[in-house]
Amino acid sequence: MTHSLLRRTLLATASAIVLMGALLLYPQQAQAQNKVLLRVSTPAVPDDWHAKMWTVFKDNLEKSAPGEFDVQINLNATLFKQGTEPTAMARGNLELSSISAFDIAKLVPEFSIFTAGYVITGPEHQQKVFNGPIGAEMFKAVAEKMDVTPLSTVYLGTRQINLRDPRNVKVPADLKGIKLRMPSSKEWLFLGEALGATATPLAFGEVYLGLKTGTIDGQDNPLPSVRAAKFYEVTKQIVLTSHLVDGIFIAISSKALNAMTPVQQQKVKAAAQAASGYNNENRLKEEGQLVDFFKQQGLQVTTPDVDAFRKSVQTTYQNSDYAKVWPKGLLERINATK
């Protein structure tokens, strides 16, 4: 053996010994490096069910695959701005989020059928549609066009209108001139306009202040989110329009999913199901109890002519460009799903 070869062999042996020593001394750090990183980003506030469900997701994975995953939960849109999550996931900068039909419709236009008011009729209908053949077809298109894979359907709740100042609202015309905050995309703004209001874009995190200062006259959200984000502190009325049975989808970057073993993929899917199950059960229960809570807080809770809202919103969508890209017969199939 030449002198230099001997030196290199000795050096390699020494580094191997140092590495083995480090692994023995710091097994946790070594393990952390091998863990599958799952970063979660959501605009949800900590006290909302679809924020808490991520802890269920994390705990479920920790039980089924101890030490295999490093789940990092980021709430309040601190990691990615609301609505930018799908792009971040497709680029590999984010692994998980809960994405809305509105986010999806930007890239999968036919998905806009689920952004239309009064299409899905209730939480059960929602689960049946998305857990059946329609969901399978639509999710396939999502995976193909967006590089993200939906894992489960989360009931966000039924959206209601929430106003800063009380107003007699019976039909859409009664919302004329109302600056109704909607999330920032044209699909959301269209829904606000279809309700008869002047839709004003604003991120979820800015709504409380907007209501407080009066830069907006109202907002729409499901009742559990009105409670969790404390919008009832800065508003005086809830109008029960029930205009959108809203769903979000726990989705994972396809790149991240494909890098896992089949067993890990199954465990991640099961954890997503457990998380949405937890949300759906608790949110539904709470949604049924909140009218009393808001009344106790001094808010007026009123019921408009929901049929008038339904007719007007449905006609607006049917006559829009959105309906032109809905696959033939899809609306009828959704309506027939029981």
Q: Which residues bind ligand KDO (CB under 6 A)?
A: 42-44, 48, 50, 82, 100, 183, 204, 221, 225, 248
Minimum CB distance to ligand KDO, residue 249 (Å): 10
Q: Rg of the chain over CA atoms, in angstroms?
A: 24
Closest separation in Å from C-beta 110 to ligand KDO: 18
Closer by beta carbon to ligand KDO, 90 or else 260: 90
How far is the C-alpha of 251 from the C-alpha of 143, rounded, in Å? Answer: 10
Q: Which is nearer to ligand KDO, 204 or 326 (CB)?
A: 204
Q: Is residue 184 within a helix (H) or strand (E), and if so which, with residue range?
A: none
Minimum CB–partner distance for residue 50 and ligand KDO (Å): 6
Q: Where are the beta strands (DSSP E) in the chain?
A: 36-41, 69-74, 96-100, 148-163, 179-182, 198-201, 218-222, 237-253, 300-302
CB 232 within 8 A of CB 297: yes
CB of 48 to ligand KDO, least distance (A): 6
**Which letter does DSSP use for residue 261 in this model?**
-
Instruction: Quote the strand ranges of 3-147, DSSP E.
Output: 36-41, 69-74, 96-100
Residue 194 or 248 having the CB closest to ligand KDO: 248
62/293 with CB nearer ligand KDO: 293
**Residue 271: partners with Cβ closer than 8 Å, 6 or more residues away:** 56, 57, 58, 60, 61, 64
Q: Which residue lies nearer to ligand KDO by CB, 65 or 120?
A: 120
Closer residue to ligand KDO (CB): 68 or 278: 278
State in angstroms the smallest separation of the CB of 296 from ligand KDO. 23
The DSSP secondary structure of 25-55, one letter per residue, reads H-HHHHHHHHSEEEEEE----TTSHHHHHHH
CB of 151 to ligand KDO, least distance (A): 16
